[in-house]
Structure 1
Amino acid sequence: MSPIPPTPPADQGSVPVPPGSRPSAGHRGALARVVVAAVLLLAGLAVPLLGPELALDGTGEGTGPGAGPVTWLRTLLFLALAVHVGELFARALTHRLPAGADVPEPPEPSSWAPAAATVGFLSAFGLALIVSTGNMLPSRLADMDLGGLYGSRDGTLALVEVNAFLLAGLLALTRHRALAALPLGAVIVAEALRAHPEVHSPLFGSALTLVHLTCAALWTGGLLHVLRTARRWHDRPTAAAALLGRYSRLALLLFVLITATGLVSTARRLPPENVLGTAYGRVLVAKLLLVAAAVALAFTARRRLRLSPHTPAVLAPARAELLVLVLAVALSALLTAVPIPVFYQPAFWWDWF
């Protein structure tokens, strides 16, 4: 009988680790995604709280005491608009998938449109109350002049948005949900007109904002609903890949339109040499960086979709893209609360508009 070799002494400070107790690469990746999502959400919450002060610091500009609440309310309004518009957009894409895409029944997840319309209505109503007090925070009921809203341009546009969200919410509860696109379009038109009170070619500026806001709502809200649908279709990877592919092709066109209208609008309003010296310019630069990050994440997701359309890894960068877009929406709302540069001048090549 051969002797049993002696067992080497165990390290005094070591503790045996049972198999499977170490975190896997998948678990570490999931933890990293949760941390990134939490950071982005906290940054989004910080925009209305700290954004106005940080943007105005050192510029010598001033803003009203309602900048924070206005940013909060308009962020909610923009997000509600994006959720509702994006759901209609994604449902239209779903119904146009080819017959061989193996689409399940029922094809869509539960609707968020009624909740989005409710949030939009309440946000628009809050903004209307601020407009009724001369864009100041009301401290008592006597400060608000709701009847006077009909006598001013901003008041009329605020009432249009309130009524449009109310009508969109009612239509979302009926069988004719697609008709909600009409009042939602009225909200976009009202926002485009409100954003351009200047004397020089206001209709051209409003047209740029209309295209910009429409495309941004379709990109952000459409991605949200596409991801919700893909999650519902987890057992139908062919259908999910077909939907993601169709959305990605249209999202590229939306990005091009957003970039073009954004650059032209900036050239009309803000000279390049004053970009970092104004609150408007600083917020705009931050927004551009976020949009660039969203585009990088979008291309990552599309590349994974082409290489391996049946893997859940496609959804990870798309979810991060959605969070970045939500933060960009918050910065867009902040742009409406900080002062427009007082030295507004049209870019020289737009003088003939």
Structure 2
Amino acid sequence: MSAPGPFGTPIRRTAAVLAGLAVLAVALLGVSLAQVGTGELEIPAAGSITLLRLLVVAALAVQLGEIVGVRLARAGPLPRRWSVPAALTGCAASAALLFLLAAISGLDLSTVYGLREGRLLLVTANALALAALCAAGRRPALALGPLALAIGAEALRAHPESYSPAVGVGLTVVHLTAASLWCGTLLYVLRVMRLRGGGLEVLTRYARMAGWVFAALAVTGTCSTLRRLPLDGVVSTAYGRVLLVKLGLFGLTALLALTARRRMLRGADAEAPARVELGVLGAVVVVSALLTVVPDPHWLLP
């Protein structure tokens, strides 16, 4: 009998394909659907920008999660590293965003490099390329430096506002780091458990860390929302609508995490709810990518 593929049984492979198609559809169409009836200006190439930013965020999550996951796994067999292909994918996505910015603005690349967003995208691309080199070496944890630089550049890019920019950048740095750790580390821990045919102690160690990560996400997410979204824009702006979806998914993820934790305390199987939690976390990441593309409601509302 042949060994199962990387996605397990045919049912799981089919589910993975369907999930990938759903992610692609949401990334390409999500911004347009969220803007229906809001009167907001259409974002050029919104679907392509969302998809590329999703790849950058996913690359950060896979790399950070792998670095932390190796420490949580401790002794025992470890799954094949995904850090290098993830970093290279994120680097390529950042470079593609540079070319897309040039195409949308009608400028050549030399001019785009002089723009604030162009410089930040270049920093992200170079930082992820350096992270790939570190991950391919004997001390993959050295990639933490370039990854921190990439997260800082993404936070600066997401907050070009003139009102208290330092606060917005700081909140985004913590939020993006926490989100990457939650999603990326859970992915790696589940891969370890599958490889070892168990490993509840690894999931238990992850659960202890996840509590702090959840708290950081909740606090920074709440503060960012209060800063950027007036109450009268919750349902009348694309940002508010996408945010409501994200909050619903975030709440569902928290319930799944609590379910897994309760099962662990009873000594029951906690892997199943953890896998569903990872799937919902993936949806949260997709919706978060949409939030970086829709117009900032702070500038749209009086």
Displacement of 1:250: 0.8
Q: 1:40 to 1:259 in 2, by over 3 A?
A: farther
Amino acid in the other structure paired with 1:220: C
Amino acid in the other structure paired with 1:81: L
In the TM superposition, what whole-angstrom CA distance separates every residue of 1:190-242 from its partner, at most 9, and x where no partner exists?
A: 011111111111011100000000000000000000000111111xx4xx111
Amino acid in the other structure paired with 2:177: T
| Residue equivalent to 2:68 | 89
Alignment of 1:129 with 2:99, yes or no, is yes
In the TM superposition, what whole-angstrom CA distance separates every residue of 1:233-291 from its partner, at most 9, and x where no partner exists?
A: 11xx4xx1111111001101101110110110010111122101000010011011111
Displacement of 1:300: 1.1
C-alpha contact (below 8 Å) 1:41/1:323 kept by paired residues? no
**Equivalents in 2 of 1:222, 1:334: separation in Å?**
22
| Residue equivalent to 1:185 | 148
Alignment of 1:339 with 2:302, yes or no, is no
Alignment of 1:78 with 2:57, yes or no, is yes
Amino acid in the other structure paired with 1:300: T
Partner of 2:162, secondary structure, is: coil
| Residue equivalent to 2:117 | 154
Displacement of 1:131: 2.5
Partner of 1:151, secondary structure, is: coil
Amino acid in the other structure paired with 1:127: L
Alignment of 1:46 with 2:25, yes or no, is yes
Alignment of 1:114 with 2:114, yes or no, is no
Alignment of 1:220 with 2:183, yes or no, is yes
C-alpha contact (below 8 Å) 2:230/2:298 kept by paired residues? no
Percent identity, aligned pairs only, is 47
Alignment of 1:230 with 2:193, yes or no, is yes
After superposing on structure 2, the runs of 4+ consecutive aligned residues of structure 1 that deviate more than 3 Å are 30-43, 342-346
C-alpha contact (below 8 Å) 2:229/2:298 kept by paired residues? no
**Equivalents in 2 of 1:305, 1:285: separation in Å?**
31
Moved more, 150-159 or 253-262: 150-159
**Greater helix share, 1 or 2?**
2
Structure 1: gaps (5+ residues): 1-29, 96-102, 138-142, 347-353
Q: 1:318 to 1:283 in 2, by over 3 A?
A: same
Displacement of 1:76: 1.0
| Residue equivalent to 1:289 | 248
C-alpha contact (below 8 Å) 1:63/1:338 kept by paired residues? no
| Residue equivalent to 2:167 | 204
In the TM superposition, what whole-angstrom CA distance separates every residue of 1:135-182 from its partner, at most 9, and x where no partner exists?
A: x28xxxxx5522223322111101000101111111111102110111
**Equivalents in 1 of 2:300, 2:219: separation in Å?**
20
In the TM superposition, what whole-angstrom CA distance separates every residue of 1:21-51 from its partner, at most 9, and x where no partner exists?
A: xxxxxxxxx9998897776544322211220
C-alpha contact (below 8 Å) 2:233/2:301 kept by paired residues? no
How well do the aligned residues superpose, as a CA RMSD in angstroms? 2.2
**Equivalents in 2 of 1:344, 1:62: separation in Å?**
10
Which of 272, 288, 295 aligns to 2:231? It is: 272
**Equivalents in 1 of 2:275, 2:43: separation in Å?**
35
C-alpha contact (below 8 Å) 1:129/1:144 kept by paired residues? no
Amino acid in the other structure paired with 1:89: V
| Residue equivalent to 2:274 | 318
C-alpha contact (below 8 Å) 1:73/1:124 kept by paired residues? yes
C-alpha contact (below 8 Å) 1:294/1:321 kept by paired residues? yes
C-alpha contact (below 8 Å) 1:63/1:339 kept by paired residues? no
C-alpha contact (below 8 Å) 1:128/1:158 kept by paired residues? yes
Amino acid in the other structure paired with 2:163: H
| Residue equivalent to 1:15 | none
**Equivalents in 1 of 2:251, 2:54: separation in Å?**
20
| Residue equivalent to 1:8 | none
**Equivalents in 1 of 2:100, 2:111: separation in Å?**
12
Number of aligned residues = 294
Displacement of 1:92: 2.0
| Residue equivalent to 2:134 | 171
